Amino acid sequence: MSYTIIVFVKQVPDTKNVTGQAMKPDGTVNRAALPAIFNPEDLNALELALQLKDRYGARVIVGTMGPPPATAILRDALYRGADEAILLTDRAFAGADTLATSYALSCCVKKLGHFDLILCGRQAIDGDTAQVGPQLAEKCHLPQVSYVEEVVSLDSKKIVAKRAIEGGYEVLECPLPALLTVVDANEPRPPAARRIMKCKKAKTRSELAKAHGYANYTDAEVLVTEEEALKAKGLWIHEWTAADVGADPNRIGLAGSPTKVKMIESVVLAGADFKKVEPSEEGIHKLIHELIEDHTLG
């Protein structure tokens, strides 16, 4: 049999390489100054899905919620081996916290219908919350296995997975369908040259409209014809709005987010009373003496 695996991914600012220029004078982050990347652990989730596809046969659907530029990571996922891609995009999704995000994704899951597994990266590097996976599992009434390192076995009824726990590991058996969050425990495969050649032509409906000089997607004949052609070649990136997935407007975006940001401050370095110590015998003797004097050293 062939499995259906949904992988949810996120495009994130590369917070590990924040430079001084990325902070605005008011202490907020200038996202524009940060390169947008494929969230690292989401690549691990995609890799796990592709490994299952190699081992057992599967259709791998990759989905993301974000503004149109997030299509870049969907294309990247297609280059690496995903079969289908969905962009969930709508201004109404903006400002979502993890609860509103997981609700929106659960609507997407409902629209997709049948599936066996949902995979997510453990957490995204912009917020580091690790909440969307478990919350999505709850919204879809699925059992969840967090911090998965590898899949031991998969059959039509259940999955056996090894996962990290504090100070060790567990092997868990979980019936399907299920949601797994995946940690940085595999080596994501690079995009394949052959797939890049093919999938670089993949488009969303907005991209298609734009390519033909339309401001928005319409049912103009030229668009409809090319849409059919792209679909036939598997090069159609689904673009769904809140209405397309039947999301309740009160539960998405800012309106659907119980957590509000009261205040943002930039991190100010402690800047303690700094003493420069000369790396000479004398300088170090003085330092050690001072630390013994003030009882820091016994």
For another protein, the binding residues in 73-102 under the rule CB under 8 A are: 97-99, 102
249 is an interface residue for another protein by CB under 8 A: no
Q: Under rule CB under 8 A, which residues in 259-278 are in contact with another protein?
A: 259-267, 269-278
- Least separation in angstroms between residue 191's CB and another protein is 24
The answer to whether the beta carbons of residues 130 and 183 sit under 8 Å apart is no
285 is an interface residue for another protein by CB under 8 A: yes
Q: Dmax over Cα atoms in the chain, in whole Å?
A: 85
185 is an interface residue for another protein by CB under 8 A: no
191 is an interface residue for another protein by CB under 8 A: no
Helix 98-112 crosses helix 132-139 at what angle (to 10 degrees)?
50
CA-based nearest residue to 182, from 138, 121, 131, 242: 121
Window contacting another protein (CB under 8 A); options: 199-207, 217-225, 229-237, 290-298: 290-298
26 is an interface residue for another protein by CB under 8 A: no
What does the alpha-carbon distance between residue 140 and residue 114 come to, in Å, rounded to a whole number?
Answer: 12
- Least separation in angstroms between residue 266's CB and another protein is 6
- Least separation in angstroms between residue 93's CB and another protein is 17
156 is an interface residue for another protein by CB under 8 A: no
Binding-site residue total for another protein (CB under 8 A)?
Answer: 81
What does the alpha-carbon distance between residue 161 and residue 150 come to, in Å, rounded to a whole number?
Answer: 6
Q: What are phi and psi of 66, to 5 degrees?
A: 175, 180
Q: Under rule CB under 8 A, which residues in 102-121 are in contact with another protein?
A: 102
296 is an interface residue for another protein by CB under 8 A: yes
Run of H or E residues at 97: none
Residue whose CB is less far from another protein, 194 or 295: 295
Helix 71-80 crosses helix 40-56 at what angle (to 10 degrees)?
30
Residue whose CB is less far from another protein, 192 or 277: 277
- Least separation in angstroms between residue 146's CB and another protein is 4
- Least separation in angstroms between residue 183's CB and another protein is 10
Residue whose CB is less far from another protein, 71 or 144: 144
Residue 275, sorted as left (phi over 0), alpha (psi -120 to 50) or beta, turns out to be beta
Please pick, from the candidates 164, 185, 196, 235, the single residue that binds another protein as defined by CB under 8 A.
Answer: 164
Residue whose CB is less far from another protein, 216 or 259: 259
Please pick, from the candidates 146, 186, 204, 206, the single residue that binds another protein as defined by CB under 8 A.
Answer: 146
Window contacting another protein (CB under 8 A); options: 61-69, 204-212, 241-249, 285-293: 285-293
What does the alpha-carbon distance between residue 118 and residue 247 come to, in Å, rounded to a whole number?
Answer: 19
What does the alpha-carbon distance between residue 75 and residue 46 come to, in Å, rounded to a whole number?
Answer: 13
The DSSP-derived string for 175-224 is ESSEEEEE-S-S-PPPPPHHHHHHHTT-B-HHHHHHHTT-SS----HHHH
Run of H or E residues at 258: none
27 is an interface residue for another protein by CB under 8 A: yes
Whose tokens are 């990247």? That residue is 76
Please pick, from the candidates 57, 68, 246, 283, the single residue that binds another protein as defined by CB under 8 A.
Answer: 283
